[in-house]
Structure 1
Amino acid sequence: MLNIAYTQAHLLYFNQFADLAGIWGIAFWVISLNVLITFAIDTKAKKYYLFSATWVLIALIYSVWILHINPSSAIGSGNTKTKVSLIQTNIDSYAENDSLIVQKTLNQIISLSDSAVRTHKPDLVVLPEASFPFSLFKDKSFLDFARRNIVNWNTNVAIGYVNYEDSTSFKNLALVFTPQLAYFWDSLKIKEADVKIYQKEFGLPFIEFMPYCENCNSLKGRRLIKGSEPYTFLYAKARSEKFKVALSICWEQTYPNKIASLVRDGAEYITMMNNDSWFGKTPGAKYLLSFTKLRAIENRRAIARCSNGGISCFIDPFGKIYGEIPWFTANISSQDVLAVNKKSFYTKHPSFFVILISSIMFGLILYFWIKK
């Protein structure tokens, strides 16, 4: 989480080589630059000033090439676009001791989604993490209510919800609920077990689980039951054009290999469903956004980032933010999202740079040990 690479998340003209080496490469670049500058100041030798300038130019030239000269070398050509609407509620999904929380949540989601569908006609509506603080399928009246709205909207909806297994354990879940699934639910006698559902794999330490003690309750008195499948969801837009989207939930954005696995599974873009309200207006939410930006660059995938309370926005495959919604406002943002098929080198080989640098390091240690 505290990787040095995240300090460079907003420097798009120096971090584009993350699609080759990931955050490990950026961290190596930053540390090496500091070492070279230190040598230059300490020794006053011109060669170290030259090395430092060359090290900066390497990153700059690659970034300019990707951003302005030949973007298709990173994302390929012939990519299509899909329209996505983010629904930012202004309610903490995990707020406790509020008997009206469910009704408030439903009212905001329905009214904002109605507005998004009516004014922007999106192909996919995205809700925040655990936007429904209860099971989507356990209560038939609520399931029917959700189905009716999805059928009326005739729009695919990415829904996050929580299943409380018992008083101390829960599952954090998400799925893409299509109009076809909603319409044929009764006639085809579909059950929850028949539906493809994504289960959050990595939770927030101490809040959702206790590190090194999988069966222990967190400080909140509950523990996350982790999933393991990198699901990709297929949905169609009005003209029957199909898209593959992966859903990822909040703290999973801190795991580079996790997001890379979603893209390797076929995701053309990613929706990041967050619950950032508990951060308040602190640097915490902004810090998490830096994770999201680097995940987009590493994998050359657009990310539709939806968070209750914010920060909700869209990030293109080069790390540029657009369509941002102001903090702590109940609002919507509808934008075109690029669906990319080409996989970056990092996506295909996320551990390559780590193995390479580790091998060189141990080789040097062995060499100098032999040479004494």
Structure 2
Amino acid sequence: MNQTLRKRLPLLLSLLAGGLMWAAWPTSPLTFLVFTGFVPLLAIADKVNNRAKYFGLIYLALWIWNTGTTWWVGNTTVPASGIFANAFNALLMSVPLMGYKITLERHNRLTSYFALIVYWLAFEYIHQEWELSWPWLTLGNAFAMRPEWVQWYEYTGTLGGSLWVLLVNISLYAAWRKRKKGTDAGSFLLWKEGWKPALLLVIPVVISFIVAVMNVEIKRLTMNVVVVQPNIDPYDEKFSTHSAQEQLAKLLDLTRSQIGADTRFVIWPETALFTQGAWEHELNYQPEVQAIRNFLQLYPNAKIITGASTYKQYPVPGEAPATARTRSDGGPPYDAFNSAIQIDTSSNIQIYHKAKLVPGVELTPYMRYLPFMKKLAMDFGGITGSYGLTPGVDIFSNPPPYGNVFAAICYESVYSHFVAEKVRQGANLLVVSTNDGWWGNTQGHKQHMQYARLRAIETRRWVARSANTGTSCFISPLGDVIAPQPYWEPAAIKYDVTNKRRLTFYVKYSGFIAKAPLIFCILLLLYTIVLRVIRRSYVENNQ
């Protein structure tokens, strides 16, 4: 290798790593490249001694990955938001890799590899739980378009996929290092060292095939579900004060085209009702609700689950949370919610409040410490400022033969542990109500739909997905997409889904599985601190 190339090799490796991860991500067909994307990053850690330079190189790779896969977050009225989001997320993702570099400088290679796995998986867990959450690039999400590879997610969730990616990358790099030390290329590829990453690649796929065969559905009692895609422009039409009744009429007309006497649920998209907001204690008197109930008189067996913008007031002094807003008329403080509601012919309306809010769009993170910033969230959804976090119902509970429903609102369907928790609480059917039209016809809405396939596999529940502008569809418990509708076209579809009750291993123990990397991370850090104290004490005692 000539001197010029040797000098520029770390930069080339950084560019290669970012490019590989970008090319591997849904909706690209090159998923297999994810098994090589971290290899250049591992090589950089060995070739670059200066920590500042190392940070710059890994940050560049992570920024390319983020920008290449989620550039569409800036495809809004505020493009700078996307630039900041990608840059900031790349910065957060560099933390576990910096931890790996520091560990590599102080410990042996095996310990460092273990540390990388623990640090990265702990980071992914934290990135699903805190208020700056953005788990879109969780490594296990890379297999959303390859459900046949990861049917074992019903045991591990996406955590297992992230672990698989890291193990194969580490094994490939370890084999390459040994080849460089004298092993010839042929034996490396065939059996000397190459069999280890090959085995790590093949075994999970074989297990996935076996698990899929075991999960072939036996014909059983089904429920007819109708999904509506109204295709209402979120920028120019949806939140107009004059078009609410026209939008409702469109939703009812599309529903009428598919609903029947055997229909149990009708699913409408996010914020389909009350685009200007409605008080929760007055929902039964809203003209939209009354019109829906009149419609359902013809179909008394059906329930409509729809997104809605709602307000909840706190009349009791001291009851209002940090997210609460003040009223110009001097009334009690209140919260605005991105909600899902279930309406039937009775006067009982169940209300679910979105719990996983998009940072900067629906939520100003940690506003309880900075209350003056609560109005800074972007205007997406018709209501400016941060949404509330006061819980509504956990799931929509229904008597047989309906079953219980968890209505994930938009971004919530990306959270594996969160969705599993709702199934553990009794959900038999998963619903996704979303409005992905904000991002236009980009990879954003396509990736979002693909991720729902992983939730179906993890929980072995049917998913009914209603997206305002697309893609609306049904997803089977094996992750198969059924009747996907074209983007930017109104549509209504129906399908008979199974009312599933079995809890997968992941659903039962997702709380433990999700926290395991964090526990290992804490133990590893404690071990490092204790070891450092012991070494320092030894040096001082021998001086």
Q: Are residues 1:205 and 2:363 paired?
A: no
Paired residues of 1:79 and 1:340 also in contact (CA < 8 A)? no
> What is the identity, as a one-letter code, of the residue corresponding to 2:295?
N
- TM-fit CA distance, 1:156: 1.5
Name whichever structure is richer in helix by fraction.
Answer: 2
Which residue is 1:233 aligned to? 396
- TM-fit CA distance, 1:80: 2.8
Name whichever structure is richer in strand by fraction.
Answer: 1
Paired residues of 1:124 and 1:156 also in contact (CA < 8 A)? yes
Which residue is 2:240 aligned to? 98
Query: What SS does the aligned partner of 1:87 have?
Result: strand
Which residue is 2:497 aligned to? 337
Query: What SS does the aligned partner of 2:193 have?
Result: helix
Query: What SS does the aligned partner of 1:86 have?
Result: strand
> What is the identity, as a one-letter code, of the residue corresponding to 1:178?
D
Which residue is 2:252 aligned to? 110
Superposed counterparts of 1:302-321, under 5 Å: 302-321=462-481
Q: Give me the identity figure in percent.
A: 23
| Correspondent of 2:385 among 217, 222, 234 | 222
Paired residues of 2:245 and 2:288 also in contact (CA < 8 A)? no
Give the Cα–Cα distance (whole angstroms) in 2 for the partners of residues 259 and 97 of structure 1.
29
Give the Cα–Cα distance (whole angstroms) in 2 for the partners of residues 293 and 137 of structure 1.
33
Give the Cα–Cα distance (whole angstroms) in 1 for the partners of residues 481 and 263 of structure 2.
19
Give the Cα–Cα distance (whole angstroms) in 1 for the partners of residues 456 and 175 of structure 2.
34
**CA separation of 1:247/1:355 partners in 2, compared to 1, >3 Å: closer, same or farther?**
closer
String of CA shifts for 1:210-236, please: whole Å, max 9, x gaps: 122255121334111124355332446
Query: What SS does the aligned partner of 1:223 have?
Result: coil
> What is the identity, as a one-letter code, of the residue corresponding to 1:106?
L
Q: Are residues 1:146 and 2:292 paired?
A: yes
Which residue is 1:60 aligned to? 205
**CA separation of 1:121/1:241 partners in 2, compared to 1, >3 Å: closer, same or farther?**
closer
Higher relative contact order (CA 8 A, sep 6+): 1
Paired residues of 1:126 and 1:159 also in contact (CA < 8 A)? yes
> What is the identity, as a one-letter code, of the residue corresponding to 2:505?
F
Which residue is 1:21 aligned to? 156
- TM-fit CA distance, 1:103: 3.0
String of CA shifts for 1:74-116, please: whole Å, max 9, x gaps: x7x6753211110101114575763433133112101101111
- TM-fit CA distance, 1:311: 1.3
Which residue is 1:173 aligned to? 339
Query: What SS does the aligned partner of 1:198 have?
Result: strand
Which residue is 1:261 aligned to? 421
Which residue is 1:48 aligned to? 193
> What is the identity, as a one-letter code, of the residue corresponding to 2:394?
Y
Which residue is 2:100 aligned to? none
Which residue is 1:157 aligned to? 304
Which residue is 1:292 aligned to? 452
- TM-fit CA distance, 1:55: 1.0
> What is the identity, as a one-letter code, of the residue corresponding to 1:252?
E
TM-score normalized with structure 2 length: 0.59
Give the Cα–Cα distance (whole angstroms) in 1 for the partners of residues 365 and 253 of structure 2.
39
Give the Cα–Cα distance (whole angstroms) in 2 for the partners of residues 55 and 362 of structure 1.
27
Paired residues of 2:223 and 2:402 also in contact (CA < 8 A)? no
> What is the identity, as a one-letter code, of the residue corresponding to 1:162?
S
Query: What SS does the aligned partner of 2:404 have?
Result: strand
**CA separation of 1:348/1:114 partners in 2, compared to 1, >3 Å: closer, same or farther?**
same
Number of matched pairs: 352
String of CA shifts for 1:129-167, please: whole Å, max 9, x gaps: 110124381744433222101212332211221124668
Superposed counterparts of 1:270-285, under 5 Å: 270-285=430-445
Paired residues of 2:473 and 2:484 also in contact (CA < 8 A)? yes
Query: What SS does the aligned partner of 2:457 have?
Result: helix
**CA separation of 1:352/1:144 partners in 2, compared to 1, >3 Å: closer, same or farther?**
closer
Paired residues of 1:92 and 1:275 also in contact (CA < 8 A)? no
- TM-fit CA distance, 1:50: 1.2
Which residue is 1:5 aligned to? 140
> What is the identity, as a one-letter code, of the residue corresponding to 1:298?
E
Query: What SS does the aligned partner of 1:224 have?
Result: coil
Give the Cα–Cα distance (whole angstroms) in 2 for the partners of residues 276 and 268 of structure 1.
25
Query: What SS does the aligned partner of 1:243 have?
Result: coil
> What is the identity, as a one-letter code, of the residue corresponding to 2:254?
L
**CA separation of 1:200/1:40 partners in 2, compared to 1, >3 Å: closer, same or farther?**
same
**CA separation of 1:58/1:369 partners in 2, compared to 1, >3 Å: closer, same or farther?**
farther
Query: What SS does the aligned partner of 1:263 have?
Result: helix
**CA separation of 1:116/1:354 partners in 2, compared to 1, >3 Å: closer, same or farther?**
closer
String of CA shifts for 1:147-205, please: whole Å, max 9, x gaps: 101212332211221124668951122222223x1xxx4xxxxxxxx643211112221
Give the Cα–Cα distance (whole angstroms) in 1 for the partners of residues 483 and 221 of structure 2.
19
Q: Which range is displaced more, 201-210 or 215-224?
A: 215-224
Higher Rg: 2
Can you give the 5+ residue segments of structure 1 that lack an aligned partner in the other structure?
A: 186-193
**CA separation of 1:146/1:126 partners in 2, compared to 1, >3 Å: closer, same or farther?**
same
**CA separation of 1:58/1:308 partners in 2, compared to 1, >3 Å: closer, same or farther?**
same
Q: Which range is displaced more, 355-364 or 102-111?
A: 355-364
Paired residues of 2:350 and 2:393 also in contact (CA < 8 A)? no
TM-score normalized with structure 1 length: 0.85
Give the Cα–Cα distance (whole angstroms) in 1 for the partners of residues 257 and 438 of structure 2.
26
- TM-fit CA distance, 1:30: 0.6
Give the Cα–Cα distance (whole angstroms) in 2 for the partners of residues 356 and 96 of structure 1.
43
Query: What SS does the aligned partner of 2:364 have?
Result: coil
Paired residues of 2:343 and 2:349 also in contact (CA < 8 A)? no
Query: What SS does the aligned partner of 2:501 have?
Result: coil
Give the Cα–Cα distance (whole angstroms) in 1 for the partners of residues 483 and 168 of structure 2.
34
Which residue is 2:270 aligned to? 129
